[in-house]
Amino acid sequence: MTVNPTDTEYGHESRFFMRSDRIKRGLERVPHRALLYATGLTKEEMERPFIGVATSFNDLVPGHIGMRTLERFIEKGVHTGGGHSFFFGVPAICDGIAMGHTGMHYSLPSRELIADMIESVAMAHALDGLVLLTNCDKITPGMLMAAARLDVPSIVVTAGPMHTGMYRMKRRSFVRDTYEAIGKFKNKEITEQELSELEFCACPGGGSCQGMYTANTMACVTEALGMSLIGCATGLEGSADKRRISFDSGVRIVEMVKEDLTPRKIMTRDAFENAIRIDMALGGSTNTALHIPAIAHDAGIELPLELFDSISRETPNIVKLEPAGDHFMEDLEYAGGIPAVMNRLKNLLKDNITVSKKSIKEIAEKARVTDSDVIRTLENAYYKEGGIAVLKGNLAPNGCVVKQTAVSDKMKHFVGKARCFDSEESAMQAILGGKIKAGDIIIVRYEGPKGGPGMREMLAPTATITGMGMADKVALITDGRFSGGTRGPCIGHISPEAMEAGPIAFVQDGDEIEIDIPNRKIELRVESGELEQRKTKWKPPEPKIKKGWLARYAKVVTSANTGAVVK
């Protein structure tokens, strides 16, 4: 808000000027007010800040099915704080359900749709503030991109992680007990009855999947950025704490409107570096290397891919949740959540304001760690470096990423022979058909932002390889990307991608490839002259999708190393 002491037109007394005044103040706005009154507004409510609540509730996504309750608490908070709430919906895609078929083409591109839809509604209706109710993989970054782009006071509420399942008195989770179970079944390690029973108990209810997969990683990144209230990232779905956080977020957004505390005042360069550092300490999903730069881009800040690697080299991995470890999001919540992780890293973090009006340093100082195995000290870290490593070499001149904390020591340096596939489906067929042998490096190409299009996740192949006991025998390299649930030597985001004539397009079966994670190298052991000769014979394949909005997306999306932003 800004002070407007002369605005007394049409009987209004002097007060702060709000963005919504563009549609509700002055003689020429009689028609606009008539339409607003048609929604049920009273004259008194017309004077309140207009708060848009962008909700991704639907009945399709487990992480979002419980949002109706949180919507009620946000609404109560907004009205308690003196605002008036207006709800509008945005789409949500479940990556787990979209995985392994045509649906996954739409997942990453939906990030752009979500940002554009929020921008459209907020600008068209001159909203004073936004509460962004989200939970899963692309929805959270899409909402943050919109907040950064609009620079309207905004606060994010993530709906919370799913509780773990239980089967035969052992805690169960989505990736290990469904995707990896497929490989175990193929290896005859579990029976068909056990596989069927795991389907029913791996995901016992609503919430984002239980490990440090992309949805929960992005929730943690959001809190670390300062865009959620304290404790929001790990507050469990269905808990009273999550309801209170929702209510408090509704109250707080009205205060933020009055303070004119906007996203770009919070999401500074320092804030993004803090978020990357927390991500590295958590061993989060490699998808953050797409999402954090994309959010920063909309905030007017360019974050090179190399920044992830430099921060990772100086940030110990002190949390090891599934898929890399055996702890779950509920363990992180009970151990103190993101504030406790900040407490461990407080001397490495830069100070920055948050939506709570408290600074990062203040939050970190007051936090306490209640379980030193779930959140270790820097001296007793699981790994001396952070979760993500950025590799470069003649196979990926512009870089690629690997979750190094989910790779066994014996596979951090690996030399193997290429087995090339031009789609995820053909690679999966070979894996399930027993055609992949120890020492192979599976190449899955034409799955990048343009070539996919949409840069599909490769959870099915990677989890099946792990379930079949081959995670320490083979590697997978792709210009696509991986689920946060991936573990093992799986290297994604190869840039440039095959569709843009990147070197991955010229790899042939039997070519020798060296992966050297400690030294950040990925090399195709083929002479440069031979590669150039192969390039002259190469022709780009026909686009996999030739109609609809994905065909348009493929023409304007940029490379993975830039965050796959649309320009």
Residues that are catalytic: 483
Cα(213)–Cα(382) distance, rounded to whole angstroms?
Answer: 18
Q: In what order do the strands lie in the sheet with 84-89?
A: 84-89, 50-55, 129-134, 154-158
Cβ atoms within 10 Å, residue 49: 25
Structure tokens at 275: 């978020």
Give, as one character, the DSSP assignment of residue 177.
I
Residue at 47: amino acid letter: E
**Torsion over CA of 551, 553, 556 and 561, rounded to 10 degrees?**
-120
Cα(198)–Cα(329) distance, rounded to whole angstroms?
Answer: 20
- Helical H runs in 151-207? 174, 180-186, 192-201
The β-bridge relationship of strands 490-495 and 475-478 is parallel
HSE-CB of 411 using CA atoms within 13 angstroms: 23
Structure tokens at 492: 């994604």
3-state DSSP assignment of residue 172: strand
Q: Which residues pair with 88 in a beta bridge?
A: 54
Give, as one character, the DSSP assignment of residue 49.
P
Residue at 122: amino acid letter: A
Place of tokens 């994604």: 492
Q: Which run of H or E residues covers position 121?
A: helix 107-124
Secondary structure of 473-542 as H, E, C letters: CCEEEECCECCCCCCCCEEEEEECCHHHCCHHHHCCCCCEEEEECCCCEEEECCCHHHHHHHHHHCCCCC
CA distances from 258 to 15, 251, 262 (A): 11, 12, 11
